[in-house]
Structure formats: C-alpha cells, structure tokens
Structure 1
Amino acid sequence: MPELPEVETVTRTLNILAGGKTIEKVVVSLPRIIQRPKEPEDFEAALEGHTILNVERRGKFIRFVLDGLVLVSHLRMEGKYGLHDAEDEVAKHTHVRFRFTDGTELRYKDVRQFGTMHLFKPGEEFTMPPLLKLGLEPLSEEFTYESLVDRLAKRTTRIKPLLLNQEYIVGLGNIYVDEALFQAGIHPELTADRLKPAQWKLLHAAIRDTLQRAVDAGGSSIKSYVNGQGDPGKFQHELLVYGRKNEPCRNCGRPIEKSVVGGRGTHTCAACQPLPKARVRKSG
C-alpha cells in the first residue's frame, strides 16, 4: 500500500497533470469505488462543470479541492491515476474517468479494486470518515518531539503497531516504520512506555528524516507503485532493513532478520536494535 512519500509524490504530479482543469464528464465503471454519495450516478453528476483548484494530501489520502467540492481518494493497494487523451484506448481495470474540457482524461486504474472515493462539501470532509480521526502529520510543524511523546509514551503497546496506527501519526506504513525504528536503534517489539527520552528524540528525528528523504526520492517502488506520470520511485535503493532479509546490516554486517510484529512482516538488526529483557516485578 502506498505510504506518505508515495501519496505525496502522486499528489504533486496530479497538481501538474490536473490542476486548473474543468471536468466535463465523469464515468464510473465500478460502482463500489464510490463510497459517497451512495449512487455513482450522483457522484458523476455532482462533479460535472467543476474545476480542480488544487490537489493535496492528508495522511495516505488524496484531496482534490474543487470549486465547491472536495473529492477524497484512497489508492489502497494498487490504485493509480494517469492523464490520457480522451480518445486513447481505455486500459483494463480503469474504473473511474474524469474527462476535462480540454480533451484529456484523468483515469483511475485499480487492479485490486480496493480504492475508494468520497465526495464532500468543502470542510465537511474533516468532520466524518475517512479523514475524521486521522492523527499528526509527521512532516508538519505540529509533529514535535513533545507531541510524539504526549500521544504515545504512556502506552503499553509495542511501538511498531502504535506507529502504524493512523489515529496517532498518519502516513506511516510497514516500510517506513521499519526504516525509522532501525535508524533510531529501537526494536519494534519494545513497548512505548519503556522508551527513554533520548530514544523518543531519536525516533522523532528518524521518522522525519526517513519520510523526507523518501519524498525527495519520489517514494519507494517495491511492487507496482508509480507516480501520476508513470515514473517509479527511487528510495527502495536506499532502504536499510526493509526487504533485506539475510542481507548484511549496513551498520554492523549482521544479517537482517525478518519476523512478524502485530501481524506485519518486520525487518530488524538484532545488534543495532537490541530488545531489552522484560522487567520482572518483585513480589512481597
């Protein structure tokens, strides 16, 4: 699933491809993609005649800001947007087409068919799902060391599942959590309440640094991800642990290990991310 760097890259390319264009017609070929309104015909009719003013990101969601409407889109596993001439042959698994008045079409293709689209009045999208309960943006000014500690430090949950929870911090997925924890030297099974202040500072810095470098590289193309212009990301060449099972750690040379934490495949270096022994309560 695309994470923050990939969605940020797609958002930026969509601004280039579709920003300022006016929708002439919308064609929905797979109704279940449209979550709001309930009827795809209402979705199609509502968008006609509106202009895309800007394309923004919130967590892993894309926000198409139009004149009088906001379209919230989630790519899920393999959703992709691409700009085409309206007369071009429509590829298989193309489920939504936005035809513009200039003769081009923005097409949404999704082989896995898990993507979603919601339509709102401006501002309304933040008052209900799917954006309602999203947490801190890790590349924003609000994401400080203090805000990270305030939200997570007292919790007895393992740190990796906490970082994956979009209600606390948005945009982090399996790839970048593994990378940030490695950079901070923190084992993913360590519970948040056991992290020391110095570790929280390292983790805060690692999250920001990892995500920013990934954004600068256009994201990671692990499987099928490409941006709106069809270009793959390059950050997969810089990954330190994710996807590197049995390969030597770039810090110490010890083989990278793969385990399961919170139901997710997890990559660690046992030497660089030691897991302290659990504290034993004394009786009596």
Structure 2
Amino acid sequence: MPELPEVEVTRRSFADRIAGARVLGAWLGKPLRWPLGVDPAALAGRTVRGVRRRGKYLLLDLNEGLLLLHLGMSGSLQFALDLPAAGPHDHFELRTDRGVLRLHDPRRFGAVVHVRDEADPVARKLLGHLGVEPLTEAFDAEAFYQALRQRQAPIKQVLLAGQLVVGVGNIYASEALFLAGIRPTVVAQRLSRPRVARLHAAIRTVLSRALEVGGSTLKDFSNAQGQTGYFQLETMVYDRAGQPCRVCASPVRQLRQGQRSTFYCSVCQRP
C-alpha cells in the first residue's frame, strides 16, 4: 500500500506542473471505493490551485471545491501531456490544459472524492481522525510520549492506526522500531520517555530517508512521472525474515500483528 513517503513523492512529481491548470473535463470509469460525489462534467472549467497532502490523501485545491485522492492498496497516478487510451485498470482522469491526471488502480480500493472544502462532513469523516504529520513541528516528542501512555495496544499497532501520528505504515513502522531498538510487541504505555524520544527521532529519520530515495516500490508503485522508489533496497528488517540482521547477524524474525507481517531482530530490539 502506498504510504506517506510514496504519496508525498507522488505529490511532488506533478504538483508544480498541474498548479494553475484549467480543467477541460473529467472521466470516471468503474466504481471506486467511494463515489465521486459530483457529476464529472461539473468539474470542467475549474482551475487547479495546488496540490497538498494530508496523511495518505492528496488534496487537489480547485477554485471551486476540493478533490480528495486516495491511492488505496495498489493505486498510482500519472500526469502527462498525452497518455495512451485508458486501460481496464484506469478509473479516473482529470483532463486539463497542462496534461491528464490519471488514477491507475488494479484493485479499485482507491478513491477520488469531491467535497466543498475541508469543513465538508465527508472531508471531516475521512480526514478528521488523522494524527499529526510526522515531519512537521506539530510532531512533538513529549506530546507523543503522553499520548502513548494512554495506549494499551502493542506499539506497532498504535503506529499503524494513524491516530497519533500519520504515515508510519507497515514498512516504516518496522524500520523505525528497529532503529529505536524497540520490540514491536511492547505495549505502548510501557515505553519510557527516553525510548519514546528515540522512536520519535527514528520515525523522522526513516520517513525522511524514504522520501530521499523516492519511497518504496514493492510491486508496482511509481510516481506521476513513472519513476520507482528504492527504499526497499536498504531496509534493515522489513521483508528480510530469516536473513541475518545487518547489525548483529542474528536471523530476522517475522510475526503477524493485526493481519500484517512484522519484522524485527530479537537481539537488537528489546521487549
């Protein structure tokens, strides 16, 4: 699933090019996860003011209204002056005078939703529960510690929930916990202030590095220019079950948490 680094990399790959574009029309193919919420023809004539990101959502600000885009489990965006005819897994296009923005999503778990603004009830339902952005000043170490003290779930599950901090998906949670030396099964409220401080720093470090190398491409992720990411080539534990830890050479272990695979080193990560 595209996580914060992949979504932010995607945003950066087309935001400057589409800003100021005039919408010529829109096309909607097979139904996606949620309805568009407006007749596609009604988008014609509007102007794209810019592209922002909130968690794993891309927000296309229009001069009238707002489009929320979610890439789902396997979605990706393309933006180009000219694209070939839409294929069976292409489900939305925004045609502008600067190019075509197309959503490709084989599993159709993604979505494009039109709302009035961020105060719209639909927007509040989708965005209102999201935690702070981890690469901003709002992600404060002490506030993070105080919030974790109220959580009785395993720390990895708390990170994946996205209610305290957004964007720490499965790959990045495993990697951040390794860097912080914390076992993913530790109950969140048991973590001491120093250990939370290390985790806070590790989250920032891991996500920043993922952005630098274009995110992770495990199957078919690419940004809006068709470029893949390389973070998966340098993971310390993720998807390395049975292989030697890059630090201590002990075998990397794998377990299931909430239907997701977790990878960790039993020597480097203390319970």
Q: Select the residue among 124, 128, 144 that pairs with 2:119.
A: 124
1:122 CA drift (Å): 2.7
Task: Find the counterpart in structure 2 of residue 260 from structure 1.
Answer: 256
Task: Find the counterpart in structure 2 of residue 64 from structure 1.
Answer: 60
1:195 aligns with 2:191: yes
Q: What does 1:26-105 correspond to in 2, within 5 Å?
A: 26-37=26-37, 42-86=38-82, 88-102=84-98, 104-105=99-100
Task: Find the counterpart in structure 1 of residue 244 from structure 2.
Answer: 248
Which runs of no fewer than 5 residues in structure 2 stay unpaired? none
- CA separation in 1, counterparts of 2:111 and 2:120? 14
Task: Find the counterpart in structure 2 of residue 282 from structure 1.
Answer: none
RMSD: 1.6
* CA deviation string 1:82-131 (max 9, x = no partner): 124457322331111111135x3211111111111211123325862211
Identity of aligned residues (%): 38
- CA separation in 2, counterparts of 1:123 and 1:154? 29
Indicate if the aligned counterparts of 2:155 and 2:185 stay in contact, CA closer than 8 A. yes
Task: Find the counterpart in structure 2 of residue 133 from structure 1.
Answer: 129
1:194 CA drift (Å): 1.2
Task: Find the counterpart in structure 2 of residue 24 from structure 1.
Answer: 24
Which entry has the higher C-alpha Rg, 1 or 2?
Answer: 1
Using the size of structure 1 for normalisation, the TM-score is 0.90
- CA separation in 1, counterparts of 2:220 and 2:130? 26
- CA separation in 2, counterparts of 1:125 and 1:253? 52
- CA separation in 2, counterparts of 1:33 and 1:161? 24
1:32 CA drift (Å): 3.5
Which runs of no fewer than 5 residues in structure 1 stay unpaired? 276-284
Task: Find the counterpart in structure 2 of residue 279 from structure 1.
Answer: none
1:24 CA drift (Å): 0.8
- CA separation in 2, counterparts of 1:151 and 1:46? 43
Distance 1:202 1:115, change over 3 A: same
Distance 1:190 1:87, change over 3 A: closer
Q: What letter matches 1:19 in structure 2? A: A
Task: Find the counterpart in structure 2 of residue 220 from structure 1.
Answer: 216
User: For this pair of structures, how many residues does the alignment match?
Assistant: 270
Indicate if the aligned counterparts of 2:131 and 2:163 stay in contact, CA closer than 8 A. yes
Indicate if the aligned counterparts of 1:125 and 1:132 stay in contact, CA closer than 8 A. no
Deviating above 6 A after TM superposition, structure 1's stretches of 4 or more consecutive aligned residues are: none
- CA separation in 1, counterparts of 2:65 and 2:51? 12
Q: What letter matches 2:210 in structure 1? A: A
